[in-house]
Amino acid sequence: MDAEALARMIDHTLLKPEATPKQVIRLCEEARTYRFAAVCVNPVYVRLAVRMLEDTEIAICSVVGFPLGATMPSVKRYEAEQVLQEGATEVDMVLQIGALKAGDDEMVRDEIAAIAELCHAYRALCKVIIEAALLTDEEKIRACRLAQAAGADFVKTSTGFGPGGATVHDVALMRRTVGPQMGVKAAGGIRDYTTAQAMIAAGATRLGASAGVQIVREARKEEEAG
């Protein structure tokens, strides 16, 4: 995969709580330069990102129920509606991890379905973060199937704030579970081109990374080296 194609798979991400407007502006400028698929920012910065990238095709992604997933479903829906009204075109929501582990599949599915339906009404994508590092393989499979049944567009490995990030094993398991039609986003700990390649080979169709610039620069060096 060439560097340009790789860039179009990256959600250039800044979700640190200490992120400043100046840093978000730089993130957007880098996304414009490298033509990333999206920028992913906290809800308070959606409007700024929209303004910075309004004349581009770069998607504006924000997060809901982040990073714990333990917010009430009605609050998650309200939060999603707010970022969509601000101009977000993709929403990464954290599912209710405790409910999943307790076996309350109906609650998990209904919560995802409410957000997915709202996103689609705004012609936006819904990605479901399952926080794989907290789950058994059986729970990962259930989470993916519930997200798929609820009408989500992607499943995503991690928030980047949990006990672990994306792994090749998890990405491959998620891809096998959802099949070829649904997106799989690998996120958390993807800091170099080699790791990015491994995630894509395992089945990821999108990469969430704060190191997007470094990853693409490494890919370009590989191309130049022949």
Positions annotated as catalytic residues are 92, 156, 185
Calpha distance 213→28 (Å, rounded): 12
112 three-state secondary structure: helix
| Number of continuous H segments (helices) and E segments (strands) in the chain | 10, 8
Is the CA virtual torsion 142, 118, 39, 68 positive or negative?
negative
Kindly give, in sequence order, each residue whose CB lies less than 8 Å from that of residue 188, ignoring residues fewer than 6 positions away.
Answer: 133, 157, 158, 159, 160, 162, 164, 165, 166, 208
